[in-house]
């Protein structure tokens, strides 16, 4: 998979913001894309379970815990 991040940043310079977050990789993939779904669940992982019961095809799950 080709990294197109530089191309997107060049084309949409005034609309793109990049974040340098300390994320943990649990999927063992070096590159991925899709609709981002964020779950905020400090001390309550039941919300994560609810999301995982739904169809996640084409989605990237971000857990903010």
Distance separating alpha carbons of residues 61 and 56, to the nearest angstrom: 8
- Specify which residues 38 forms β-bridges with: 62
Distance separating alpha carbons of residues 9 and 11, to the nearest angstrom: 6
Of the pLDDT bands very low, low, confident and very high (cuts 50, 70, 90), residue 59 is very high
> What's the predicted TM-score (pTM) here?
0.59
pLDDT in tens, 6-58: 888 899 999 988 878 787 777 787 778 899 999 998 888 899 999 999 999 99
């Amino acid at each position: 998979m080709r990294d197109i991040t530089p191309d997107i940043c060049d084309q949409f310079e005034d609309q793109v913001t990049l974040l340098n977050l300390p994320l943990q990789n649990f999927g063992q993939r070096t590159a991925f894309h899709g609709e981002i779904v964020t779950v905020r669940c400090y001390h309550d992982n039941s919300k994560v379970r609810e999301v995982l019961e739904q169809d996640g095809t084409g989605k990237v799950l971000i857990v903010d815990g």
